[in-house]
Amino acid sequence: MLQLARFLPAWMRNYPRHHLGTDVLAGVVTTVLVLPQSLAYALLAGLPPQAGLVVSIFPVVAYALLGSSMTQAVGPVAVTAIMTFSVLSPLATPGTAEYVALAASLALMSGLLVVAFGVLKLGFLSDLLSRPVVSGFISGSAVLIVISQLRLLVGVEAQGADSWHLLAATVAQLPQLKPATAVMGLAGLVVLLLCRHALAPTLQGLGVKPARAQAVVRVMPLVVVVVATLAVVAWDLDTAHGVAVVGAIVPGLPPLQGFVPSASDLGLLALPALIIAFVGTVQNIAMAQALAVKRRERIDANQELIGLGASNVVAAFSGGMPVGGGVSRTAVYVAAGAQTPLASLVAASAMLLVVLFGTEAFTRLPLAVLAASIVVAALSMIDVAALRRAWRYDRADALALLGTATGVLVVGLEAGIGIGIGLSLATLLFRASQPHIAVVGRIPGTEHFRNVARHGVQTLPSALFVRVDESMFFGNLRAIEERLGAELEAAPAVHDLVLIMSAVNRIDVTALEALTDMHRDLGLRQIRLHLAELKGPVQDRLQGTPLWSALSGGVYLSANGAFEALSPPLK
């Protein structure tokens, strides 16, 4: 027994009994509330609706046993679902056995990749995605999600090779819309939007306590779904008025999916799987960290990846769609009072019961209402505030965000994130290539040196003190050389150039050669080159070089040391 316990996760070995009640309640509540969402995201991914239910069982158990966050809820998520659809729909027809097998392969590959990142401690690779890029990616995806749902929302037949052709086809078909479907879809949309944005303040205005008002808001989507289903049943909207519904779901767990991805599938899916893995990782870790901070816990990023990856591997064989840590799902879960992953196990068990005995309830659920709930979720993913904040703080980051979103919309999800990474790197390089360089002087009576342009400082007539605020590397040498050249030209009396290296964290080979050339050039012009405030690692490297042994000037621990040494002797 003790042996077995060693393999249990930490939270299970020392389970705090007093959390039992809230955990069980949270698990049951969450399952009921996220049911419509799970069906909807499976449809969004182009899969049969029950796939969304099935991947809410065993993959959730896998995450509960292996993940590191106490309160993150995994399951079908919107961005992963639209990525699945966007990757697979050119390869196979949604709904076919081939499509289902491809989706399972995608879940398996991205799962294995994420596990590998975790085991090899390569989680840092996801740092290639800056937050503005991720934000732009999600906002762009959200617009694509909205476009994909419009036809279901109003009940028209429309198809398109990509989102824009689909949108055009949907608009062209509008005259043929099915009135009953459109009324149901648009009414659902309006009610859900009002619930999300206006209900809580209204209830609070009526004197309802904030927590209770929030609970009502969370229950409303389920109420809308129930009411819509009852309406279909009452007036036979599906058979009499052509309102599309979920349709018969075979009760019970599907047999364990056996599938062998072909080599060509693996090749086609490798890049999408990597992107799903990366984006999933970034979102997951960011959310898990935010939750951990609120709860004053710490998460282990690599352990988190192992949990997320394992749950996708399990999802490949049971349900067959990629899963992730869902924002709204987790929010429901936390609000319902979940304290430990036990709540997840309860939720998984509850979902198992639903799949075994309760699927009949969804047979006549109208797709238009599910589409409305997806649209509302997608609209909330469009983060205009992030763009506004970035624009105010840092234009380059704002442009990376906009570029990524535009890229996702115009050339697709995969190329869009490639554009985003490219923009991030370009920004990095561009900034580093325009280093801040200041001519400095000493603040009288202190040992501090500040920009001569900003402060009233002491300078020496024959010595120029220049601080370079950037590592020296191939990309910014030209700027540094030009600035130093201009400063020296403006001060012909100078015979000592002191470079203050306090912000130079590195000098690469190109920069070393350029410095060596500059030193030789200065020598010809009778100007000595001094170095001050060199960082330890920089100095260690320089010590073996010809520049160091030939240096015409001195090396000073501090700018002040150089200032004192170069000051004319007092008479």
Pick the closer one to a second copy by CB: 244 or 421.
421
Among the residue ranges 201-209, 255-263, 322-330, 515-523, the one whose residues contact a second copy (CB under 8 A): 515-523
What is the rounded distance in angstroms from the CA atom of residue 255 to the CA atom of residue 439?
A: 73
Site residues for a second copy, 408-437, by CB under 8 A, read 424-425, 427-429, 431-433, 435-436
Q: How far is the CB of 528 from a second copy (least distance, A)?
A: 17
What is the rounded distance in angstroms from the CA atom of residue 495 to the CA atom of residue 421?
A: 46
According to the binding rule CB under 8 A, does residue 485 interact with a second copy? yes
Nearest to 558 by CA among 538, 530, 537: 530
Pick the closer one to a second copy by CB: 212 or 520.
520
Q: How far is the CB of 504 from a second copy (least distance, A)?
A: 8
Contact of 530 with 556, CB cutoff 8 Å: yes
Pick the closer one to a second copy by CB: 125 or 353.
125
According to the binding rule CB under 8 A, does residue 541 interact with a second copy? yes
According to the binding rule CB under 8 A, does residue 543 interact with a second copy? no
Q: Which stretches within 382-508 are classed as H helix? A: 384-393, 395-411, 413-432, 477-490
Q: Which amino acid is at 440?
A: V
Q: How far is the CB of 296 from a second copy (least distance, A)?
A: 6
Nearest to 406 by CA among 394, 427, 392, 422: 422
Nearest to 109 by CA among 278, 361, 337, 341: 278
What is the rounded distance in angstroms from the CA atom of residue 141 to the CA atom of residue 229?
A: 29
Q: Helix, strand or coil for residue 301?
A: helix
According to the binding rule CB under 8 A, does residue 259 interact with a second copy? no
What is the rounded distance in angstroms from the CA atom of residue 397 to the CA atom of residue 403?
A: 10
Binds a second copy (CB under 8 A): choice among 98, 236, 447, 564:
447
According to the binding rule CB under 8 A, does residue 209 interact with a second copy? no
Among the residue ranges 125-133, 194-202, 343-351, 412-420, the one whose residues contact a second copy (CB under 8 A): 125-133
Contact of 220 with 203, CB cutoff 8 Å: no
For the chain, how big is the Rg over CA atoms in Å? 31
According to the binding rule CB under 8 A, does residue 449 interact with a second copy? no
What is the rounded distance in angstroms from the CA atom of residue 112 to the CA atom of residue 268?
A: 16
Pick the closer one to a second copy by CB: 197 or 294.
294
207 Rama class: left (phi>0) / alpha (psi -120 to 50) / beta: left
Site residues for a second copy, 130-159, by CB under 8 A, read 130-132
Q: How far is the CB of 493 from a second copy (least distance, A)?
A: 18
Pick the closer one to a second copy by CB: 215 or 512.
512
- For 15-76, list the strands marked E by DSSP: 74-75
Size of the site for a second copy (CB under 8 A): 68
Q: How far is the CB of 104 from a second copy (least distance, A)?
A: 32
Angle between the N-to-C axes of helices 367-381 and 78-88, in degrees from 0 to 180, rounded to the nearest 10: 110
What is the rounded distance in angstroms from the CA atom of residue 473 to the CA atom of residue 508?
A: 5
Q: How far is the CB of 505 from a second copy (least distance, A)?
A: 5
Binding site for a second copy (CB under 8 A): 123-124, 127-132, 289-290, 293, 296, 298, 301, 389-390, 392-394, 396-398, 424-425, 427-429, 431-433, 435-436, 447-448, 451, 454, 469-470, 473-479, 485, 502-503, 505-506, 508-510, 512-513, 517, 520-521, 524-525, 535-537, 541, 544-545, 557-558
